[in-house]
């Protein structure tokens, strides 16, 4: 009887040990499988992140290409239209003045006709660079509006501030030195408009008023700054200019 009991106990212990060993082996295999799966997930996540980074970079480059003028390197007309709509909404919401300045290279056709289109291309790039150098705020955006014409979007800027900046740009270009052969003199005319946008205000309204001022600047002899309305006075030393 004792022998049977001993054999039963011994068998039970052996069975328990074998079951424990089997369970431990299974746990180890599960841990190993889990570790391998985790490594695979990490590898896939890393590869996915690389793919996402590459895609983001390509999207960024594509966005730059679609909103940048290839000749001058500044923003293009499509960007201008989008940015103006956005700034109109924000200025209307915040009840702050938004200014638009249109600038046109004087006698540009003569440059193309007399010196060739390469000289005309140089003039556009040179003027764009001079204008860009006068901008101090990241919110101020310079765009090539079309041909030899440029547009400045100036958030939180009064008409007086816009005129002062436009006059500063005009003076800088008039006195800028070009390192080209043959050398030719460049000037520009500018038209300014600024207001707190109303409910019905849109891009066309600002363009129409700034263009009216630009037309008067050119009709008056070019190389000067005008504003809309025509009676708006300008003094570089008086009053507020809203950071310009």
Please give the Cα distance from 164 to 94 (Å, whole number). 23
What is the side-by-side strand order in the sheet with 141-146? 141-146, 149-155, 98-105, 188-195, 225-228
Q: Are strands 225-228 and 188-195 parallel, antiparallel or unpaired?
A: parallel
Three-state DSSP class for 101?
strand
> Does residue 141 contact residue 152 with C-beta atoms inside 8 Å?
yes
Please give the Cα distance from 201 to 186 (Å, whole number). 34
Residue among 3, 54, 148, 243 flagged as catalytic: 148
Residues paired with 99 in a beta bridge: 154, 194
Buried b / exposed e over 55-67, threshold 16 CB at 10 Å, is eeeeeeeeeeeeb
Q: Please confirm, yes or no, whether 148 is among the known catalytic residues.
A: yes
Please give the Cα distance from 77 to 25 (Å, whole number). 70
Buried b / exposed e over 99-122, threshold 16 CB at 10 Å, is bbbbbbbbbbeebbeeeeeeebeb
Active site residues: 148
């Amino acid at each position: 009887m004792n022998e049977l009991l001993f054999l039963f106990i011994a068998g039970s212990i052996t069975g328990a040990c074998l079951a424990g060993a089997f369970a431990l082996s299974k746990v180890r295999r599960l841990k190993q499988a889990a570790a391998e799966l985790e490594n695979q997930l990490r590898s896939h996540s890393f590869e996915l992140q690389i793919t996402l980074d590459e895609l983001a970079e390509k999207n960024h480059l594509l966005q730059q290409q679609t909103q940048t003028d290839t000749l001058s390197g500044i923003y293009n007309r499509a960007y201008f239209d989008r940015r103006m709509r956005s700034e109109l909404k924000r200025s209307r919401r915040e009840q702050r003045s938004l200014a638009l300045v249109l600038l046109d290279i004087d006698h540009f056709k003569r440059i193309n006709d007399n010196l060739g289109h390469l000289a005309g291309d140089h003039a556009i790039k040179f003027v764009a660079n001079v204008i860009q150098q006068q901008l101090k705020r990241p919110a101020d955006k310079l765009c090539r509006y079309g041909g030899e014409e440029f547009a400045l979007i100036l958030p939180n800027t009064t008409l007086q501030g816009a005129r002062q900046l436009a006059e500063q740009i005009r003076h800088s270009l008039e006195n800028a030195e070009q390192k080209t052969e043959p050398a030719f003199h460049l000037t520009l005319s500018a038209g300014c408009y600024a207001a707190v946008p109303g409910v019905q205000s849109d891009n066309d309204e600002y363009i129409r008023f700034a263009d009216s001022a630009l037309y008067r600047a050119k009709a008056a002899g070019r190389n000067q700054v005008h504003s809309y309305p025509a009676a708006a006075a300008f003094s570089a030393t008086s009053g507020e200019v809203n950071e310009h």
